[in-house]
Amino acid sequence: MPQPRDGAGSGRQTGPAARPADAPAGLVDRYGRRATDMRLSLTDKCNLRCTYCMPAEGLEWLAKQAVMSAEEIVRIVRIGVDRLGVRELRLTGGEPLVRHDLVEIIAALRNNHPGLPISMTTNGVGLTKKAAALKAAGLTRINVSLDSLHEETFTKLTRRPFLDQVLAGVDAAWAAGLGPVKLNAVLMRGINDAESPSLLAWALDRGYELRFIEQMPLDADHGWTRRNMITAAEIRSLLSVDFVLSPDPRARDGAPAERFEVRRRVAGTAESRGPVLGTVGIIASVTEPFCSDCRRTRITAEGKIMSCLFSREEFDLLGLLREGASDEALVERWQDAMWVKPKAHGMDHVGLDAPDFVQPDRSMSAIGG
C-alpha cells in the first residue's frame, strides 16, 4: 500500500530551488503561477472502494492523532486566505461526510471568511441527512461523484451497493440550495463508457452540470494503463453520437474542466436541433493537461502541502504548526512548498507506445482529489 513519504521537504529549502528573498507575495512558483484555489482533505477515510482510487480491502487509515483537528484546519485556512491570497476553498478527502465534525468545521470557516466560496466534493453517501445542515453552516456548493445510473455498474465500480443513497443525496443537495450541483464521472473502458451519453442526458434533464474526469494513474491498485484509459477525445466522440458539443464562450479562467455547450444532434447528421440544453465539462488531466494555468495548492488530511497531485515532494505544515510555529513560519513553509511546484506532471509527454508513466506513491484518496 502507498506510504506517505516521511519528512520529505519538511525544512526550509536551500540550493538552486530555494525561494528567493524578493519572490512575490502569496503562493507563487518559479514559473510565475499563483495558487489561489485551495483543496483541503478532511480525512483519508472512505466508505466506498472505487476501483480507480482504492483497493477492495481499503487502505490503512491514518491514526486519529495524525489527522488535522478542526482547530488546525481553521488556522491553516485562515493563513491561506488572510496571508497567502487563497480565494476559493474545496473540501475533499477521502470522504468528507464521514468526518463527524464536518458541519462545525464549515460553520467555523464561514464565520472567519464570510465571502469565501467553500465547496465540497463528496461521494454522496449519507448526504440526504446532512445537506440542509451543510447549507445552514455556510457551504456554498457541492460536487457529487456519480459514475453510473445502473445499480450493477455502480456497485461494480464502487464495490458498494449505494446508488439509491447517492441519487437521493444529489437531489437533497439541490433542494437544500447547494447548487449549482456538479457531478463528477470517471469513465472506465468496458464498464461505464457506453453509458456516458445517457448519464449526460440524465444530468441535463435535472439541471446538474456533469464533468467527465480522465482516469489518472492515482489508483492504489496500480491498475491504470495508458492504453486502457478513456481519453478526452474519446469522451467527446462518445457524446457526439447523441449531442453536438460547442466550446462554452465563457472564459475558462483556470478551471480544470473544459466546458462545452450541449445541443441535441439530428440523428445521422452533423446538425444540432433545439436550444442549448446545458453544459458538460471534460477534465483532461492526462491527455490535454492545464498545468501552465494551474492555480491549486493542496493540503492532505495529515497537513502536508502538495503543490501538485503528482508532486514527489511534500512539505509538512501540520508538524510545524504542532511544534508551536508562528503564522509567519507557516506562511514561509507554504510559500517554499509552492515555489518548487513542478512545471508540469509530464504524463502527456509520453507517447502511447512508451512505457507507462511512473505512478506516484499516494493514491487519490490519500491526497485529496
Residues 311-330 that bind ligand SAM (CB under 6 A): none
**29, 219, 248, 302: residue in contact with ligand SAM (rule CB under 6 A):** 219
**43, 122, 192, 297: residue in contact with ligand SAM (rule CB under 6 A):** 122
β-bridge mates for residue 244, sequence order: 263
Query: Does residue 48 interact with ligand SF4 by CB under 6 A?
Result: yes
| Matching residue, cell 491514518 | 62
| Matching residue, cell 476501483 | 51
CA distances from 219 to 52, 156, 199, 330 (A): 5, 16, 23, 31
CB 96 within 8 A of CB 122: yes
Dump the DSSP string for 206-238: HT-EEEEEPPPS--TT----TTTBPPHHHHHHH
Q: What are phi and psi of 314, to 5 degrees?
A: -125, 150
Query: Does residue 124 interact with ligand SF4 by CB under 6 A?
Result: no
Please state the closest distance from residue 181 (CB atom) to ligand SF4, in A: 17
Question: How many Å apart are CA 103 and CA 135, to the nearest integer?
Answer: 9
Residue 37 C-alpha cell reads as 484555489
Query: Does residue 131 interact with ligand SF4 by CB under 6 A?
Result: no
Please state the closest distance from residue 93 (CB atom) to ligand SF4, in A: 6
Q: What is the DSSP letter of 348?
A: G
Which contiguous run of DSSP H or E holds residue 90?
A: strand 88-92
**36, 128, 140, 215: residue in contact with ligand SAM (rule CB under 6 A):** 215
C-beta closer to ligand SAM: residue 158 or 272: 158
Which stretch, 93-101, 175-183, 272-280, 290-298, contacts ligand SF4 (CB under 6 A)?
93-101
Nearest C-alpha neighbor of 235 from the set 253, 217, 210: 210
Query: Does residue 2 interact with ligand SAM by CB under 6 A?
Result: no
Which amino acid, one-letter code, is at 305? I
Which amino acid, one-letter code, is at 338? M
Please state the closest distance from residue 283 (CB atom) to ligand SAM, in A: 8
Which amino acid, one-letter code, is at 321? L
CB under 5 to 8 A by kind: which of ligand SAM, ligand SF4, none does 313 bind? Answer: none
How many other CB atoms sit within 10 Å of the CB of residue 5?
A: 16
Do β-strands 243-247 and 209-213 pair in parallel, antiparallel, or remain unpaired? unpaired
CB under 5 to 8 A by kind: which of ligand SF4, ligand SAM, none does 184 bind? Answer: ligand SAM
CB under 5 to 8 A by kind: which of ligand SAM, ligand SF4, none does 49 bind? Answer: ligand SF4
**28, 40, 50, 230: residue in contact with ligand SF4 (rule CB under 6 A):** 50
Please state the closest distance from residue 45 (CB atom) to ligand SF4, in A: 9
What is the rounded end-to-end Cα distance, in angstroms, of the chain? 18
**28, 35, 46, 203: residue in contact with ligand SAM (rule CB under 6 A):** 46
Question: How many Å apart are CA 37 and CA 25, to the nearest integer?
Answer: 16
Query: Does residue 94 interact with ligand SF4 by CB under 6 A?
Result: yes
Question: How many Å apart are CA 339 and CA 302, to the nearest integer?
Answer: 21
Please state the closest distance from residue 159 (CB atom) to ligand SF4, in A: 9
Question: How many Å apart are CA 17 and CA 342, to the nearest integer?
Answer: 11
Residue 84 C-alpha cell reads as 497567502
**73, 86, 186, 239: residue in contact with ligand SAM (rule CB under 6 A):** 186
Question: How many Å apart are CA 217 and CA 287, to the nearest integer?
Answer: 12
Residues 330-369 that bind ligand SAM (CB under 6 A): 364-365, 369
Query: Does residue 123 interact with ligand SAM by CB under 6 A?
Result: yes
Build a one-symbol-per-residue string for 145-184: x at contacts with ligand SF4 by CB under 6 A, - elsewhere.
x---------------------------------------
**36, 51, 92, 231: residue in contact with ligand SAM (rule CB under 6 A):** 92
Binding residues (CB under 6 A) for ligand SAM: these are 46, 52-53, 92-93, 95, 121-123, 145, 184, 186, 213, 215-216, 218-219, 364-365, 369
Binding residues (CB under 6 A) for ligand SF4: these are 46, 48-50, 53-54, 93-95, 123, 145, 364-365
